[in-house]
Amino acid sequence: MSKLFEPGTVAIVTGAARGIGRAIAVELACEGCNVVVNCRTSNEAAAETLRQVEAQGVRGLIVEADVSAADEAKALVDAAIAEFGHVDVLVNNAGITADGLLATMTPEDFNRVLQVNLGGTFNCMKAATRPMMRAKHGAIVNISSVVGVAGNAGQANYAASKAGIIGLTKSAAKELARKKVRVNAVAPGFIATDMTNAMTDQAKERTVANIGLGAIGQAQDIAHAVAFLASDKASYITGQVLRVDGGLII
Ligand code: NAI
């Protein structure tokens, strides 16, 4: 069966040591991409992602970078180009939560979540955009959240960051379309990862009760959508937000 990507396609996935990021990295590798596995600090989890990427018969590279720092995001893109010569796909997946009710949320928790989720996405997009524009070719997929569409009590900072990613995605899509660089977002619903494992069983049950398809999603569900949007199969799609949520919000 033919793969989604031409051999030699290069993809950067941020926050790829575990969870959804790892699933995206492995899926892109499986579909033919060489993959740059970004992690904030290199560890055994990142090494495991790299092993799974290379097991698909493509090349991989771990690059340590805190995407919330502009110079580190730039160094990440530079490292990818130094190793592979070009960057075709950027997936902004790195994200954090620091939940709390608005009345008690500290400015530090608000700012940090914005800085990593929205700022990190901006930093990496800014760094990757110039080489993609020059090549008149590229696809960026940003990981938002259904919470960025609908809001969520206790997640004002996170929801603001994910809503911001949608605005950033649409604006960049308008700016870059003429340069043949596509920018889309995927908005996951409730996906089984370390991030959601932190929720209480009661909160999980309440959420599942609202999911039309009646089950928690898997990281692989997000990875499939990302691979599609990053590939030429989506060559006429830009500026869109694809919700992958089992019908949580219809
Ligand atoms: P996770 O917490 O398992 O993984 C996030 C990864 O991002 C970790 O490897 C972490 O080290 C990395 N990271 C955090 N800050 C970073 C930084 N400054 N620089 C580089 N890497 C950094 O989370 P999960 O669930 O895999 O989430 C991945 C993305 O999907 C996040 O953007 C999250 O907001 C989003 N998402 C997840 C949902 C879920 O139900 N799990 C639902 C909707 C969106």
Is 158 an active-site residue? yes
Across the beta sheet with 241-244, the strand order is 60-64, 34-39, 10-13, 89-92, 138-143, 181-188, 241-244
Residues 156-160: what's their mean pLDDT? 98
The answer, yes or no, to whether residue 1 has pLDDT greater than 90, is no
Nearest protein Cα to ligand 1, atom 28: 20
Instruction: Report yes or no on whether pTM surpasses 0.75.
Output: yes
Q: Single out the catalytic residue among 158, 163, 169, 226.
A: 158
Ligand 1 first shell, C-beta below 6 A = 14-15, 17-21, 38, 40, 66-68, 93-96, 116, 120, 143, 145, 188, 190-191, 193-196
> How far, in Å, from the CA of 178 to the mean position of ligand 1?
31
Per-residue model confidence as pLDDT tens digits over 80-107: 999 999 999 999 999 999 999 999 999 9
Residue appearing with tokens 């995605």: 169
Q: Collapse the DSSP code of 117 into the 3-class scheme (helix H, G, I; strand E, B; otherwise coil) and give the result.
A: helix
Quick one: which atom of ligand 1 is closest to the CA of 194?
3
